[in-house]
């Protein structure tokens, strides 16, 4: 039957409507996803940005003989509850190190108590009306400020919110990831090279391949249990340490690196392999001199993404005891340590309201690092993409 | 003289002296380079080469022609054991070079490929500089170590490949930045840099424009003074232009192996004649 354009258009109208509808639905889904993301970021920023400021007040510090014994005596009674006890505790030590201080009285900017900080930021604070009045007076006189919080980046965890920082967790993360990288990268890359370039295609290698792919989908907490059973109980690796955390995360990262490396190797055209064989390369020379250099950007991208994944992982580390209270920044691979997500987890469980902003602040730092890592991966991929 | 008068219309030549061309080309060199006897090859169950006998002569161009899937590329890849890379391949028969069977267990395929170079259908320079493309294999085979020797070797290889004048000022630019025809000549330079005995060319001009093709053909003509060249081609005129001897493959058999001039003027088999005159292909 012959159809005129009008007949066809009439039929098409319904089809066009349908595709328009689907387009709107998918755009709605995208919008919703974007909305969630924006809400999440906004919430984190609103809650977390105050963590990068910490209240300081200017008070008179009296370095008397008595203060070297009882630090509380160093400041006036009315501001005493407003000064961080962490600061006061350091006074005797400072006087010992610097004898000139003895007998002097100085106006100093000192770290305020966490409650003062919360009050100045307009949050609920456990302060009496009298104390609040003192803070208000200090603020009017310009003796209370909210400067940038360096403590947050330079010190470890503390039970006093004004002293709590992420430095120990950040260092723990660095050490743990170093172990992960050192273990997972060479093993993962060589495994992939063997499977892709050397292994015959038989039942056995297919079985290995399926298992590696499945490994990537195993719940991470099982890796923690494996780490606990094998590394700690059997090999006696010290618990809570970056070594055990790194090894456990390496187990998790291995399949990611193997899969990424295999994909990268497979994307190298066979013509390069033929060219290498054609000039008399052995198989290993072919891989080392020609295929690996071409696959390297892909391998690095995959490894960075695998590491970023490992970096955000908490569950397996809880099992191997890396959720610990670590006040000091350690640089040892075998001492107890914690990692950024575990630190966030710890802070989230603190009853003190002042830790809410620490939690969000920690998340912001973790997000910043992860975004940086992923951006590096993207840049690497773009920079070295297809040079042949 | 080995003039053999065969009956026209015969489908497959009966060779009294297996492996030798039917008609002798008096201009050609007749020192033996590769001797192939009763070569059979299977891809799994598929019988791809059927009892091939061929004597390939040194410092000649031998062209392998035939319709797609006739086994000419497979045969070519037997000569430097590139078929080893395909797991399902099994080979029977003798390929003798320099008194040794290339398929014997003692023969190292890496050593074989050192003496039998290869140029592929699509130009495939390494993603390195022009200089490194050439110097890579000689360095790997410990032929050169001093920088001055390397420079000299690169220049000689590029000159022999007719590429020197075009690239001498950009030796350290990537080989992939050249045009297709230049890339293919770079691949030829890379192959001759290790001074092989034989150069296999698998349809070296099929991805190139006519001008680049002509350049490569001239080059083959020049290179045969130094090397044994065995080339696979789909282009009948090319075979007629460059080859001393031509072998016509069909369904895994060598139907006719003959002096090129005779092959293209008075082929001895009906099949070869039909193919050459374009009745099928």
Determine whether the interchain pair B136/A289 forms a contact, defined as Cβ–Cβ distance below 8 Å. yes
Nearest chain B CA: its distance from A220 CA (Å): 38
Q: Which residue of A has its CA nearest to B194?
A: A279
CB interface of B with A, residues 185-244, below 8 Å: 187, 190-191, 194
- Reference A345, options A368, A367, A322; nearest CA is A322
State residue B79's pLDDT score: 94
Nearest chain A CA: its distance from B117 CA (Å): 6
pLDDT in tens, chain A (388 residues): 788 888 888 888 889 999 999 999 999 999 999 999 999 999 999 988 989 999 999 988 888 888 888 888 888 888 888 899 888 888 888 888 888 888 888 888 999 998 999 999 888 888 888 889 898 999 898 888 899 998 899 989 988 888 999 999 999 999 999 999 999 999 999 999 999 999 988 899 999 989 998 988 889 899 999 999 999 999 988 888 999 999 999 999 999 999 999 999 999 999 999 999 999 999 999 999 999 999 999 999 999 999 999 998 999 998 998 888 888 888 889 888 999 999 999 999 988 888 999 999 999 999 999 999 889 888 888 887 655 4
Chain B residues within 8 A of A289 when measuring between CB atoms: 136, 140
Among the partner residues B113, B127, B141, nearest to A278 by beta-carbon distance: B113
User: Strand B61-65 vs strand B228-232: parallel, antiparallel, or unpaired?
Assistant: parallel
DSSP letter for each residue of A313-331: --HHHHHTT------S---
Confidence of residue B12 (pLDDT cuts 50, 70, 90): low
Residues B54 and B254: beta-carbon distance below 8 Å = yes
CA B188 vs CA A130, A278, B86, B139: distances in Å: 92, 11, 24, 17
Q: Which residues pair with B118 in a beta bridge?
A: B200
For an interface test with B, the pick among A202, A279, A285, A384 (most B C-beta atoms closer than 10 Å) comes out as A279
CB interface of A with B, residues 166-195, below 8 Å: none
Q: Which residue of B has its CA nearest to A271?
A: B124
Chain A residues within 8 A of B174 when measuring between CB atoms: 387
Determine whether the interchain pair A279/B117 forms a contact, defined as Cβ–Cβ distance below 8 Å. yes
With an 8 Å Cβ cutoff, is A387 touching chain B? yes
Q: How many CB atoms are located within 10 Å of the residue B210 CB? A: 9
Residues A198 and A185: beta-carbon distance below 8 Å = no
pLDDT exceeds cutoff 80 at B9:
no
Question: How far is it, in rounded angstroms, from Cα A285 to Cα B117?
Answer: 17
Q: Which residues pair with A61 in a beta bridge?
A: A106
Chain B residues within 8 A of A388 when measuring between CB atoms: 127, 176
Determine whether the interchain pair B82/A201 forms a contact, defined as Cβ–Cβ distance below 8 Å. no
Using CB atoms within 10 Å of the CB of residue B255, give its burial: 0 to 12 exposed, 13 to 18 middle, 19+ buried. buried
Determine whether the interchain pair A280/B141 forms a contact, defined as Cβ–Cβ distance below 8 Å. yes
Which tokens sit at A359?
């939690």
Determine whether the interchain pair A388/B140 forms a contact, defined as Cβ–Cβ distance below 8 Å. no
State residue A170's pLDDT score: 92
DSSP letter for each residue of A60-97: EEE--HHHHH-GGGGS-TTTGGGB-HHHHHHHHHHHHH
The 10 Å CB-count burial string (b at 16+, else e) for B135-160 is bbbbbbbebbeeeeebeebbebbbeb
Determine whether the interchain pair A271/B122 forms a contact, defined as Cβ–Cβ distance below 8 Å. yes
Q: ipTM higher than 0.90?
A: no
- Reference A85, options A123, A124, A115, A128; nearest CA is A115
With an 8 Å Cβ cutoff, is B21 touching chain A? no
H helix or E strand, kind and range, residue B95: strand B89-97
Question: How far is it, in rounded angstroms, from Cα B37 to Cα B96?
Answer: 8
Residues B193 and B138: beta-carbon distance below 8 Å = yes
Chain B residues within 8 A of A384 when measuring between CB atoms: none
With an 8 Å Cβ cutoff, is A283 touching chain B? no
Nearest chain A CA: its distance from B151 CA (Å): 19
Determine whether the interchain pair A279/B174 forms a contact, defined as Cβ–Cβ distance below 8 Å. no
Size of interface A-B (CB pairs under 8 A): 64
**SS3 for B38-94, per residue?**
EEEEEECCEEEEEEEEEEEECCCEEEEECCCCCCHHHHHHHCCCHHHHCCCEEEEEE
Q: Which residue of A has its CA nearest to B111?
A: A280
H helix or E strand, kind and range, residue B265: helix B260-265
Determine whether the interchain pair B140/A278 forms a contact, defined as Cβ–Cβ distance below 8 Å. no
Q: Note the pTM of the prediction, 2 decimals.
A: 0.83
With an 8 Å Cβ cutoff, is A274 touching chain B? yes
pLDDT (tens digit per residue) in A213-243: 898 888 989 999 999 999 999 998 888 899 9
State residue A105's pLDDT score: 87
Among the partner residues A201, A272, A277, nearest to B126 by beta-carbon distance: A272
Q: Which residue of A has its CA nearest to B176?
A: A388
- Reference B49, options B99, B103, B97, B7; nearest CA is B103
Chain A residues within 8 A of B85 when measuring between CB atoms: 273-274, 277
Question: How far is it, in rounded angstroms, from Cα B246 to Cα B231?
Answer: 9
Question: How far is it, in rounded angstroms, from Cα B264 to Cα B258?
Answer: 9
State residue A265's pLDDT score: 95
With an 8 Å Cβ cutoff, is A202 touching chain B? no
């Amino acid at each position: 039957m012959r159809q005129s354009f009008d007949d066809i258009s009439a039929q098409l109208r319904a089809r066009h409507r349908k595709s328009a509808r689907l387009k709107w639905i998918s755009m709605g889904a995208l919008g919703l996803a974007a909305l969630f993301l924006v809400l999440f970021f906004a919430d984190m920023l609103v809650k977390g940005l105050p963590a990068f400021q910490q209240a300081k007040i200017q008070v008179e510090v009296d370095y008397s003989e008595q203060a070297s014994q009882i630090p509380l005596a160093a400041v006036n009674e009315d501001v005493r509850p407003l000064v961080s006890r962490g600061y006061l505790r350091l006074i005797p030590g400072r006087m010992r190190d610097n004898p000139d201080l003895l007998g002097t009285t100085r106006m100093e900017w000192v770290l305020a108590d966490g409650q003062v900080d919360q009050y100045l930021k307009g949050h609920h604070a456990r302060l009496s009306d009298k104390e609040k009045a003192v803070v208000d007076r200090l603020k009017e006189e310009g003796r209370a400020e909210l400067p940038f919080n360096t403590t947050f980046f330079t010190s470890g965890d503390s039970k006093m919110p004004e002293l709590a920082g992420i430095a120990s967790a950040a260092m723990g993360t660095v050490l743990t990831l170093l172990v992960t990288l050192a273990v997972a990268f060479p093993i993962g890359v060589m495994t992939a090279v063997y499977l892709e370039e050397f292994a015959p295609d038989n039942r056995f290698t297919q079985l290995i391949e399926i298992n590696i792919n499945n490994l990537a989908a195993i719940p991470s907490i099982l890796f923690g249990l494996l780490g606990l059973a094998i590394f700690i109980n059997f090999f006696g690796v010290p618990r809570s340490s970056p070594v055990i955390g790194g090894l456990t995360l390496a187990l998790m990262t291995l399949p990611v690196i193997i899969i990424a490396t295999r994909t990268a190797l497979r994307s190298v055209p066979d013509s390069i392999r033929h060219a290498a064989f054609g000039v008399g390369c052995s198989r290993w020379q072919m891989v080392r001199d020609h295929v690996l250099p071409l696959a390297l950007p892909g391998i690095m991208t995959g490894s960075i993404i695998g590491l970023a994944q490992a970096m955000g992982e908490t569950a397996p580390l809880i099992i191997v005891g890396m959720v610990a209270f670590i006040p000091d920044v350690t640089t040892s691979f075998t001492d107890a340590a914690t990692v950024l997500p575990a630190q966030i987890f710890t802070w989230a469980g603190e009853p003190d309201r002042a830790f809410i902003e620490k939690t969000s602040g920690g998340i912001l730092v973790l997000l910043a690092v992860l975004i940086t890592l992923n951006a590096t991966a993207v840049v690497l991929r773009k920079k070295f993409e297809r040079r042949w | 003289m080995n003039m053999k008068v065969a009956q026209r219309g015969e489908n497959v030549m009966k060779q009294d002296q297996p492996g030798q061309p039917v008609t002798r080309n008096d201009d050609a060199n007749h020192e033996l380079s590769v001797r192939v006897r009763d070569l059979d090859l299977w891809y799994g169950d598929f019988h791809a080469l059927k009892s091939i006998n061929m004597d390939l002569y040194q410092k000649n161009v031998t062209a392998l022609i035939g319709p797609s899937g006739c086994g000419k590329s497979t045969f070519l890849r037997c000569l430097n054991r590139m078929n080893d890379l395909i797991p399902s391949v099994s080979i029977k028969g003798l390929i003798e070079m320099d008194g040794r069977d290339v398929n014997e267990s003692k023969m190292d395929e890496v050593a074989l490929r050192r003496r039998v170079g290869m140029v592929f259908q699509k130009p495939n320079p390494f993603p390195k500089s022009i200089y490194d493309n050439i110097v890579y294999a000689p360095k790997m085979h410990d032929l050169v170590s001093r920088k001055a020797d390397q420079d000299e070797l690169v220049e000689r290889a590029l000159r022999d490949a007719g590429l020197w004048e075009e690239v001498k000022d950009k030796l350290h630019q990537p080989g992939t930045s050249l045009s297709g025809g230049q890339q293919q000549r770079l691949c030829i330079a890379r192959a001759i840099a290790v001074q092989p005995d034989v150069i296999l060319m698998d349809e070296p001009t099929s991805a190139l424009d006519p001008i680049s093709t002509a350049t490569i053909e001239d080059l083959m003509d020049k290179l045969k003074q130094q090397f044994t060249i065995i080339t696979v081609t789909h282009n009948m005129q090319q075979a007629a232009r460059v080859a001393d001897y031509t072998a016509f493959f069909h369904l895994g058999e060598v139907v006719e192996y003959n002096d090129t001039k005779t092959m293209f003027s008075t082929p001895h088999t009906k099949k070869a004649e039909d193919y050459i005159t374009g009745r099928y292909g």
